[in-house]
């Protein structure tokens, strides 16, 4: 099963829509609560990253019997140094974004904590692709 969502850069008011939809589906599938929580947190953080940094993006969620694969592709400035971005507290978010309570530099580390597989590819000036996989118990 595949679900797709468009993400608009800069629109924090709508952040969280894909993760709550995905949550509904996973609950109906009877996936255990802890796994769902991790997935929702990771997806939400990844989505907020797109909203905070990119111009626009797309989330593609694929669910099968054993796992969920979440692909977030955005058009944006890209990440120059992914290793640096993975460090807790590191953030390039603008002051406005931080004032809204986002962009504390916990995004990527938090995603890493909550996913089984994480792959980030980025090209400066073009955009970033984040692929996350979580396996069901």
Binding positions for another protein, rule: CB under 8 A: 1, 16, 19-20, 23, 25, 27-31, 33-34, 36-37, 40-41, 44, 63-65, 136
Rounded least distance, CB 83 to another protein, Å:
26
Of 36 and 71, CB closest to another protein: 36
Rounded least distance, CB 30 to another protein, Å:
4
DSSP string, 19-32: HHHHHHHHHHTT--
Distances (CA, A) of 56 to 44, 75, 114, 130: 15, 6, 24, 14
* Tokens at 66, concatenated: 């054993």
Of 110 and 129, CB closest to another protein: 110
Of 31 and 72, CB closest to another protein: 31
Residue 88 and residue 79: Cα distance in Å, rounded? 15
Rounded least distance, CB 126 to another protein, Å:
31
Rounded least distance, CB 51 to another protein, Å:
15
Residue 130 and residue 137: Cα distance in Å, rounded? 23
Of 29 and 124, CB closest to another protein: 29
Asked whether 117 and 44 are in contact (CB, 8 A), the reply is: no
Rounded least distance, CB 36 to another protein, Å:
8
Pick from 122, 43, 60: nearest CA to 85? 122
Of 41 and 86, CB closest to another protein: 41
């Amino acid at each position: 099963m595949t679900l797709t969502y468009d993400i608009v850069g800069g629109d924090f008011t709508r952040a969280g829509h894909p993760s709550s939809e995905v949550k509904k589906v996973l609950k109906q599938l009877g996936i255990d609560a802890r796994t769902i929580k991790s997935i929702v947190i990771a997806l939400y953080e990844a989505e907020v990253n797109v909203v905070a940094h990119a111009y626009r993006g797309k989330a593609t969620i694929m669910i099968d019997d054993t796992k969920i694969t979440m692909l977030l592709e955005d058009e944006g400035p890209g990440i120059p140094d992914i290793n640096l971005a993975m460090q807790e507290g590191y953030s390039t978010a603008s002051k406005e974004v931080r004032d809204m309570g986002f962009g504390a530099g916990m995004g990527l580390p938090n995603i890493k904590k909550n996913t089984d597989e994480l792959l980030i590819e980025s090209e400066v000036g073009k955009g970033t692709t984040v692929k996350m996989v979580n396996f069901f118990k």
